[in-house]
Amino acid sequence: MLSHRNIMANLKQVSDVLNTEERDVVMASLPLFHAFGLTVTQFMPLIEGLPLVCHADPTDALGTAKAIARYQVTLLCGTSTFFRLYTRNAKIHPLMLSSLRLVVAGAEKLNPDVRDAFKLKFNKDILEGYGATETTPVAGVNLPDALDYTDWKVQIGNKTGTVGMPLPGSNFKIVDPDSFEELATGEAGMILIGGAQVMKGYLNNPEKTASVIKQIDGQRWYITGDKGHLDTDGFLTIVDRYSRFAKLGGEMVSLSAVEDAVRLALHDSDTELVAVNLPDTKKGEKIVLLSASPVEPDSVRQAMLVHGYNPLMIPSEYYQINEIPKLGAGKTDFKKAKTLAVELTSATL
């Protein structure tokens, strides 16, 4: 449940850090059933009195680019998946996006190759942010570097590889996932988010609400399930989701790291694939890889070993499917992917 207060607080937080002005024009192409699209690209411009340009299909990169050029849009929000479409479409000329002042990515991890390709093609930096539906959704974001005219020093607002600093009125806390004791700067642990944008709870589900909302020193914190660490300047780096680990023979293996390793072995960072963990009688769990293109298991295994990866990271089973399951915002639907993997493994027994 997101209250009026949650939404108003978050849209004002975002508007303030992005320094929105009367001349700004917002592109509204993200799904409105997603908190990112609803709060940032719909409610924020409406409340702040900014023009918004609507385009119903975020996967139509060319159509969106034409609207950006026609109406001189200055603020574009999207996901890594959607931004990749702009870099791949040869019909999108860099001049079509020349009016953009800010490009912000959220909802999923920004792929470094997408970030670099977007910069190379359009000469625009993608500023990565972070949050969750339960935080309305924005909790932190990178910002353009700025020059302080009082002392002529550059204020660093963007650190590549991080998701930025918390919004005004928000806090990040890194804690031990078991004891909830706060960890030292640089040490990775469970990410907690505090602030006025933290949800009231889940509708008619107090038990689930209690499992993710925790009171610490009088403040309500949302337990994200994400693993990350803060640097000395307050920038947050996401390591992985705690739920996206497989436990093989007592050792925790990051499924995101498995995906990256397989892509490296394939020499193709754009390969659509997802790794999931399923029960296994021998090691407790096994890693199953689903891919949208052909993968040769023996070649992947050999390449991963040559690159020095832990043998436990090598998937046990491989399945080619028509397409990787996606959510409305374009990010991978891990729950559906796992269900599909269960069906595929059962069918081969």
Q: What percent of the chain has pLDDT over 70?
A: 100
| Residue 149 tokens, joined | 């005219």
Mean pLDDT of 334-342: 93
Phi, psi of 174 (to 5 degrees): -105, 120
- Side-chain half-sphere CA neighbours of 78 within 13 A: 27
Residue 347 pLDDT > 80, yes or no?
A: no
Q: Output the pLDDT for position 9.
A: 97
Sign of the torsion formed by the C-alpha atoms of 42, 48, 49 and 52: negative
Q: Output the pLDDT for position 58.
A: 92
Residue 241 pLDDT > 90, yes or no?
A: no
Residue 329 pLDDT > 80, yes or no?
A: no
pTM over 0.95: no
Spell out the SS3 assignment of 175-206. Answer: ECCCCCCECCCCCCEEEEEEECCCCCCCCCCH
Cα distance from N-terminal residue to C-terminal residue, the chain? 43
Residue 315 pLDDT > 80, yes or no?
A: yes
Residue 98 confidence class, pLDDT cut points 50, 70, 90:
very high
Residue 136: which region, alpha, beta or left (left: phi > 0; alpha: psi -120 to 50)? left
Spell out the SS3 assignment of the chain. Answer: CCCHHHHHHHHHHHHHHCCCCCCCCEEECCCCCCHHHHHHHHHHHHHHCCCEEECCCCCCHHHHHHHHHHHCCCEEEECHHHHHHHHHCCCCCHHHHCCCCEEEECCCCCCHHHHHHHHHHHCCCEEEEEECHHHCCEEEECCCCEEECCCCEEECCCCCCCCCEECCCEEEEEECCCCCCECCCCCCEEEEEEECCCCCCCCCCHHHHHHHEEEECCEEEEEEEEEEEECCCCCEEEEEEHHHEEEECCEEEEHHHHHHHHHHHHCCCCCCEEEEEEEECCCEEEEEEEECCCCCHHHHHHHHHHCCCCHHHCCCEEEECCCCCECCCCCECHHHHHHHHHHHHHHCC
Mean pLDDT of 213-242: 95
- Encode pLDDT of 129-187 as tens digits: 999 999 999 999 999 999 988 889 999 999 999 999 999 999 999 999 989 999 999 99
Which residue ranges form the domains of the chain, and what is each CATH number?
4-142 (3.40.50.980), 165-240 (2.30.38.10), 241-347 (3.30.300.30)
Residue 317 pLDDT > 90, yes or no?
A: yes
- Encode pLDDT of 249-308 as tens digits: 778 888 999 999 999 999 888 889 999 999 988 888 999 999 999 999 999 999 999 999
Mean pLDDT of 79-101: 97
Residue 349 confidence class, pLDDT cut points 50, 70, 90:
low
